[in-house]
């Protein structure tokens, strides 16, 4: 089993690195051994040329197997078998053919041993390399063992260390990416939680707070009517009715605003230029913002008329609510009052739009709601 067997436990970068190492080790070994054999063939004397050609042909066959296995990603044990057999065959055939000593067999051995460190775990690469070294020394003699063994050990250790360093780096990259993904998920969750909290506070202001204010302003409130208001407010706050259902289908904005105007106690002139389909969440935000604006006119403007205009301007859907009432200074509104900030401005910004309230004492009030409907 190759090193790739452990890749499923880790992230994408490490998996890609291990797959690349397995895919490229065979072709690198095949091309490298073929080039070494080509130079080795050129170094042979004429009498050893027939044996050299036979060895070179065997090397080309093994190199073709290496490339096929590497690029196809299949039958890795077959490549290992051919690689080991090739080293032994080159060594034995050159010795059998009486070829004078040359670095051909040793370079084939070291190239094979180095690439095995990238392709196979140590429990397989080390025994195979030791066995090939033993065969070479047994066939060619132990005269070069004092230089060959340290050289082979150093090359294999460096190849293994380089592979492990790259593996560790890819694993660290996966860890960093996973950490960033976790932070992004936590941030998105916090934003969603904050948005839901703002929407709930806006709903609380639009429902229960408004009901309590009406009760406080009217000493002769009908208990049955107050009970109906309270049940309706509770249904909205608990999500039983009148709250978003998670869908975001398109609805007609003008029809939605017409329903709000028809329920208002004010005389509202609705001016619209056509009709537009907007997402249900956007229509809900606009409807609630307009409803809060009309409630403010009724409570504070000291007039019984208002104008609601709906139009498009530069690919923006604009809803404008105006009254000619007493007006007020927006900068002097306490932060504890969430009518404008929570039920209008923050509600529109939560949908990707914006809102502005323009007013001054004695000059009426204009509430402008904008959504980039495009």
In the numeric block, the tokens 């080309």 are attached to: 60
Cα–Cα distance between 275 and 310 in angstroms, integer? 9
pLDDT of residue 34: 85
d(CA 195, CA 189): 10
The phi and psi torsions of 312 (rounded to 5 degrees) equal -110, 145
Q: What is the fold of 244-371? A: Heat Shock Protein 90 (3.30.565)
Q: Is the pLDDT of residue 312 over 60?
A: yes
pLDDT above 90 covers a percentage of the chain that reads 5
CB 368 within 8 A of CB 320: yes
Region 311-335: what's the mean pLDDT? 84
Strand order in 316-323's β-sheet?
A: 267-272, 305-313, 316-323, 365-371, 354-359
**What pLDDT shows up at residue 306?**
93
* Amino acid 6: pLDDT: 38
Q: Could you give the CA distance from residue 303 to residue 268 in angstroms, rounded to a whole number?
A: 11
Average confidence score pLDDT of the chain? 76
Quickly state the pLDDT bin for 243 (edges 50, 70, 90): very low
Contacts of 184 (CB under 8 A, 6+ apart): none
pLDDT at position 141, please? 67
Mean pLDDT of 184-193: 77
Check if the beta carbon of residue 244 is closer than 8 Å to that of residue 196: no
pLDDT > 70 in the chain, percent: 73
Contacts 24+ apart (CB under 8 A), 167-175: 167/14, 167/17, 167/18, 170/13, 170/14, 170/16, 170/17, 171/10, 171/11, 171/13, 171/14, 173/11, 173/13, 173/14, 174/10, 174/11, 174/12, 174/13, 174/14, 175/11
Q: Which of 7-21, 306-320, 326-340, 353-367 has the lowest mean pLDDT?
A: 7-21
Q: Would you list the DSSP string of 247-312?
A: ---EEEHHHHHHHHHHH-SSEEEEEESS--EEEHHHHHHHHHHHHHHHHHIIIII--SEEEEEEEE
Domain with CATH 3.30.565.10 in the chain: 244-371
Q: Bigger pLDDT: 9 or 127?
A: 127
Instruction: Look at residue 111 and tell me whether its pLDDT is greater than 60.
Output: yes
Judged against a pLDDT cut of 60, whether residue 51 lies above it is answered with yes
Largest alpha-carbon pair distance within the chain? 124
Confidence band, pLDDT 50/70/90 cuts, at residue 351: confident
Q: For residue 203, what pLDDT is reported?
A: 55
Residue 321 pLDDT class (50, 70, 90 cuts): very high
**Residue 214 in this model has a pLDDT that exceeds 70:** no
Q: Classify residue 339 as exposed, middle or buried by CB count within 10 Å of its CB (0-12, 13-18, 19+).
A: buried
pLDDT at 366: 93
Buried b (16+ CB within 10 A) or exposed e, 72-95: eeeebeebbebbbebbbbbbbbbb
pLDDT, tens digit (0-9, with 9 covering 90-100), for 145-163:
667 788 888 888 898 898 8
The confidence band for 344, taking pLDDT boundaries of 50, 70 and 90, is: confident
- pLDDT number for residue 3: 39
* Band of residue 75 on the pLDDT scale cut at 50, 70, 90: low
| Short-list 175, 130, 131, 135, CA closest to 153 | 130
Residues 3-29 have a mean pLDDT of 68
- pLDDT for the residue 324: 92
Mean pLDDT of the region 296-318: 87
198 vs 120, higher pLDDT:
120
pLDDT at residue 274, as a whole number: 67
Residue 39 reports pLDDT greater than 70: yes
pLDDT of residue 215: 55
Q: What mean pLDDT comes out for the span 190-202?
A: 63
| pLDDT of amino acid 233 | 52
Q: What is the mean pLDDT of residues 291-319?
A: 87
Mean pLDDT across the stretch 36-53?
78
């Amino acid at each position: 089993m190759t090193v790739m067997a452990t890749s499923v436990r880790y992230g994408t970068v490490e998996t890609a690195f291990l797959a690349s190492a397995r895919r490229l080790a065979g072709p690198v070994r095949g091309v490298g051994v073929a080039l070494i054999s080509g130079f080795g063939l050129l170094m042979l004397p004429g009498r050893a040329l027939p044996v050299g050609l036979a060895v070179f042909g065997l090397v080309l066959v093994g190199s073709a197997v290496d490339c096929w296995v590497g690029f196809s990603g299949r039958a890795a044990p077959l490549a290992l078998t051919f690689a080991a057999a090739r080293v032994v065959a080159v060594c034995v055939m050159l010795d059998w053919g009486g070829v004078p000593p040359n670095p051909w067999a040793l370079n084939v051995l070291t190239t094979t041993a180095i690439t095995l460190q990238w392709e196979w775990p140590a429990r397989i690469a080390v025994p195979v390399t030791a066995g090939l070294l033993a065969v070479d020394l047994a066939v060619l003699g132990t005269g070069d063992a004092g230089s060959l063994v340290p050289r082979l050990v150093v090359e294999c250790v460096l190849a293994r260390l380089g592979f492990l360093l790259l593996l560790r780096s890819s694993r660290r990259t996966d860890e960093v990416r996973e950490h960033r993904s976790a932070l992004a998920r936590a941030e998105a969750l916090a934003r969603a939680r904050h948005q839901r909290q703002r929407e709930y506070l806006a709903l609380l202001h639009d429902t229960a707070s408004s009901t309590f204010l009406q009760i406080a302003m009217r000493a002769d409130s009908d208990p049955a009517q107050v009970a109906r208001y309270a049940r309706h407010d509770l249904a909205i706050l608990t999500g039983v009715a009148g709250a978003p259902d998670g869908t975001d289908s398109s609805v007609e904005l003008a029809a939605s605003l017409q329903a709000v105007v028809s329920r208002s106690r004010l005389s509202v002139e609705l001016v619209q230029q056509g009709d537009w389909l907007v997402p249900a969440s956007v229509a809900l935000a606009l409807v609630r913002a307009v409803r809060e604006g009309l409630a403010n006119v009724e409570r504070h403007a000291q007039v019984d008329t208002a104008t609601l205009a709906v139009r498009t301007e530069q690919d923006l859907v604009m809803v404008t609510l105006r009254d000619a009432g007493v007006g007020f200074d927006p900068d002097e509104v306490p932060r504890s009052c969430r009518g404008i900030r929570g039920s209008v401005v923050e509600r529109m910004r939560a949908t990707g739009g914006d809102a502005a309230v323009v007013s001054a004492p004695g000059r009426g009030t204009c509430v402008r709601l904008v959504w980039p409907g495009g």
